[in-house]
Structure 1
């Protein structure tokens, strides 16, 4: 198992390239921008990307998905269909945040709770974790004790819920009801900022720690 974080866009979004050591098959999670940088990193890693995975429909996570998928001739999987309005609204998102023009996006496959994605000999479990957006998904490699959580959870913080479709109660339920039960040892890559573990956040995160709900 290997993975590489490549910060992209002015929002320093954590795009991840993850791969199977045995087969060198790879996936790219949340390519928000900087296609040339991502292609150069993929080439340097000497991996074969077979799919692009999206956690949710916000521009800084999906802005380069179509261009990257076209360049690599691979499908786009995710997020959950409940984020369709974010993907169809990408042109408006780009204008709002001062990003380069973006076209509406429809993935090759929407993802649902319980789906499993194979990357070589690795398996990623899909969890539907609404709250930041209604169609947000999380990817979990249980064998490697690693997760890619997008903007659901951060080191010491949680995702915003003030965007259209956000819901604070849903977000807390996603984190405490779906992520924390996976185990304290799971190390996660958030959409922004440093990595952490579910255990550290369960103990210390001021928004979702056990002591807030005990």
Structure 2
């Protein structure tokens, strides 16, 4: 079995919404449907997969803005993020106003996720890591079998998530990356919330915020 993926940039922030699916079963999940649902639904039909759930890394508008609408349209359960991001979900209409997004519906996830939980997509299992710092309830999804992590806005190629939002914290974020993500292994490839993919090994070598050379 293996986990396949397709990255679908959405919203004016070019957020990396991901369609992930189990190759053996054709069952899929949409990770972080921030908006542009027509684009997401086109990708679903092009890949010929059956979406069974929505997974959320965190609840910023560019990641979660299309969640309620997509969940309703396709009758999907919502899994994630961690409960500490509930205030961001409740504040989605205010976030939309602030950034000029269409007003989204507020929702309640069917399952809040905790560190150490697992979620399934078809026959594939993803481990849940609670990685606060960018937001307090941010989670990362890790498929050990294929060495792929979906890290939202925790880590980027050459950068890290912003920590100047409410309840963001720089030291907490750096600790999440170094203590939760990097130990998963240098060869792990990750899909960030924005920009190109990278590996944990590459970021340990050269990321100016969290590389091993920063001590």
Q: TM-score, normalised by structure 1?
A: 0.98
Q: CA RMSD in A?
A: 0.6
Corresponding residue for residue 151 of structure 1: 153
SS of aligned partner of 2:140:
strand
Q: What is the aligned counterpart of 2:10 among 8, 11, 15?
A: 8
Instruction: After the TM superposition, list the runs of 4 or more consecutive aligned residues in structure 1 that deviate by more than 3 angstroms.
Output: none
Q: Note if 1:31 corresponds to 2:33.
A: yes
Tell me if structure 2 keeps the 8 A contact 1:90–1:105. no
For structure 1, the residue ranges without an aligned partner over 5 or more in a row are none
Match in the other structure for 1:77: 79
Structure 1 counterpart SS, 2:7? strand
CA distance in 2, matches of 1:27, 1:113: 20
2:114 match: secondary structure: coil
2: CA distance between counterparts of 1:124 and 1:102?
28
Distance in 1, matches of 2:192 and 2:72, equals: 26
What is the SS of the residue equivalent to 2:203? helix
Q: Distance in 2 between matches of 1:132 and 1:204?
A: 21
* 2:84–2:136 Cα contact (<8 Å) kept: yes
Residue deviations 1:94-141 (CA, integer Å, cap 9, x gap): 000000112222111100001111111111000000000000000000
Cα distance in 2 between the residues matched to 1:121 and 1:95? 40
Q: Among 152, 176, 183, which residue is 1:181 paired with? A: 183
5+ residue gaps, structure 2, are none
Distance 1:50 1:97 in 2: 30
**Count of paired positions:** 213
